[in-house]
Each structure stands twice: as structure tokens, then as C-alpha cells.
Amino acid sequence: MTATSQSAVGVAGPGVSAETLAKSRDFCRDVTRREARNFYYGLKLLPEPKRSAMYALYAYMRLVDDIADDDTHGRTLEQRTRDLDQWEELTRAAIAAAGGEGAVPAGHPLWPAFAAMVRDYRVPAKVFEDMIAGQRQDLMPVAIPDFAAMHEYCYRVASVVGVASLYVFGFRGGEETLKMGVDRGIAFQLTNILRDLGEDAAPPRRRCYIPADELAHFGVHPEDLAQRRATPEVVALMRYQIERARGFYEKSAVLESRLEEDARPTLSAMTAIYRGILEKMARDPARALQRRVRLSGWAKMGIAWRAMRRR
């Protein structure tokens, strides 16, 4: 059997029973269903075993993101830093187990499904190293001096997920296609940054992901964003960022054609949802600053249905 067909019938790696792997995959599916408001509609279009692998990838990202962001229970910066250090050690252990070295970490239901995903689809370890580096960046209020720094941040927290996803989806075109995956991830993250602009800048987060040199160029202070002041300068800045995001969607426009056919509807649907959010903000940037832009559940289901029908 191939690695993919083994995964399909629930064969686990050394030291992990098929039952344990199945429970781990159920956990990852539940995390994705609960938390992935925009991704879940697309991921449901994937056939097994790719769908379970993507649930594991998303659950991993969601859990590591919570370590850096979740201070609602009074966890100090020092505690979150220690938690992230421990998560990094566990990630390395799970990746080693996926390569046949050592055991899958115990104590959390994520790791068996995560290790199986890394093993079955040969996702490079560097992807997860870069993910964790991005979360370390999020532990402190972020200052982004210029677009090069903004691009690096977007790569670490979003493009690495896109690259990992390509390994699960299956792709042709080598480095050129991987570069498109990076660009699509940048587009998604720029959309996220615009959607959360006021919320991120306000207390207690006090995070501004817009480059400082561009804030200065447009005459915008981070406090304008924190107070959600839709001044002409702020609106002009938002329109500039919207055009930048559109550019990254266009640079990766043929990415779906490079994927294995059974994965194309998934990426098409996920992209349509994020692009839909961006275009909704473009129609009224001032209102988007006041209220987080979303697509309705019906709109997302319609996008998913159309993506599957095109297939």
C-alpha cells in the first residue's frame, strides 16, 4: 500500500494504535469545525485521507496560535513563552516520530494525527519551525517598520500553512508552485490584517501590522486605528493595503491548476471566501474599520457548492 492508502484505512505509525489515531483525527476535526469559520467549508470538499490530514494541520495551527494569543486566563508573557518552548519541543518529537525516530508525544490528542500527516505527506520540518517563529513574534506587541518585515510576518503565520497544505493537496510545478502558495498565504493574511485592523490596534492587544513607514506616508497614527477613526487618511491607507492584497491574489491566480484535481475545489472555495471578504471591505473601508467584515454561512455554503460543481 502507499502511505495515502494506509492512512485511509486507519493504519497508525509505530507505537500508535489505529484506535488512538482515529480518536486523534476526530479531535482535530472537531477543533476545525469549531474554530475554522472560513476554512471549514472548503476543507469539507476534500476526499479522505487528505481531509483528515488538513484537519490535523489546522488544529496544530489553532493550538499553537492560542499559546501566543490567549491571555484571557491571566497567563503572563513568561508563562506563554514557556508554553511555546514546550510546544516547539513536542513538535520536534512528533516530526522525529513521523520519520521513525522515537515515539509520538503522549498527553495531548493532537500528536498522533499530526505525526501521521507529516509522515504521509512528507511536510518539511522547516514549515513548522517558521510557524513557531511567527508565534514568537506575536507574543509581544508588534512593530512593523516596513513591507519587508510585514511580508516576513505574513509568511511565518500564513504562507507556511499554504506551503504545508500544498504537500497534502498534491501539486506539480516544483518551486514555482510553492512560491504561488507563499503568495496566496500572503494574500490571505493581508486580508486578515485589514479585517482585524481596529480590533488588533485597540487595548489590550495594541498590535499594528501595517508598516510604520506607510502609516507615516499616509499621515495615520496607530491610535487612529485603535479608535477606529475612519478619516480620509485612514481610508486611503486601507485602500492601498486592499490593492496590495489583490496583487498577491493575482500573482497566485493559476495555483489551483497546479494541484491534484481532488484538491482544487477546496482551495478554490477557501480563496473565494477570503477574496469575498476583501472585496466586501473594498466597497466600504470606513464601515469595515468599524465592524469586522464576514460572509454569511449561506454565502460560504454557496461558494463551496459552486467550487464543487466546477470540478
Q: Is the domain of 59 the same as that of 192?
A: no
Task: Tell me which residue has cell 509581544.
Answer: 140
Query: Can you say how many angstroms the Cα of residue 11 is from the centroid of all Cα atoms in its chain?
Result: 28
Which pLDDT score, from 0 to 100, does residue 305 have?
55
CATH number at residue 71: 1.10.600.10
149 in the same domain as 217: yes
Same domain, 118 and 148: no
Q: Are residues 243 and 291 in the same domain?
A: yes
Least confident window among 2-6, 46-50, 130-134, 194-198 = 2-6
Split into its structural domains, the chain has a count of: 2
Domain C-terminal end among 67, 94, 123: 123
Q: Which three cell numbers stand for residue 152?
A: 516576513
How much of the chain is helix, strand and coil, in % rounded to 5?
70, 0, 25
Average confidence (pLDDT) over 44-54: 94
Q: In this structure, are 50 and 174 located in the same domain? A: no
Q: How far is 302 from 27, CA to CA, in rounded Å?
A: 27
| 159 shares a domain with 65 | no
pLDDT by residue (tens digit) across 141-176?
A: 667 999 999 999 999 999 999 999 999 999 999 999
Question: Which residue(s) pair with 208 in the sheet?
Answer: 143
Three-state secondary-structure class, residue 165: helix
Computed over every residue of the chain, the mean pLDDT equals: 88
Answer yes or no: are the C-beta atoms of 57 and 165 closer than 8 Å: yes
Q: Mark whether 300 and 213 lie in a shared domain.
A: yes
Report pLDDT for 12. Answer: 46
Q: What is the DSSP letter of 208?
A: B
Q: Is 76 exposed, middle or buried, given 0-12, 13-18 or 19+ CB atoms closer than 10 A?
A: exposed
Q: In a 3-state reduction of DSSP, which class is residue 62?
A: helix
Domain range for 99: 16-123
Name the range with the highest mean pLDDT among 3-12, 77-86, 200-209: 77-86
Same domain? For 174 and 111 the reply is no
Q: Which of 68, 95, 123 is the last residue of a domain?
A: 123
Span 81-109, average pLDDT: 93
| Whole-number pLDDT of residue 61 | 92
Measure the CA angle with vertex 35, ends 272 and 140; round to 5°: 100
Residue keyed to cell 475554522: 36
Which grid cell is 78? Answer: 513568561
- The angle at the Cα of 107, spanning 104 to 111, to the nearest 5 degrees, equals 40
Q: Which of 83, 23, 27, 92 is nearest to 58 (CA)?
A: 27
Residue 287 contacts residue 197 (beta carbons within 8 Å): no
The reported pTM is 0.88
Domain end, chosen from 123, 152, 167, is at 123
Same domain assignment for residues 178 and 248: yes
DSSP string, 226-290: HTT---HHHHHHHHHHHHHHHHHHHHTTTGGGGB-GGGHHHHHHHHHHHHHHHHHHHH-HHHHHH
Distances in Å between the alpha carbon of 270 and those of 50, 64, 246? 15, 21, 15
Rounded CA separation 269/169 (Å): 14
pLDDT in tens, 262-302: 999 999 998 998 999 999 999 999 999 988 887 666 565 67
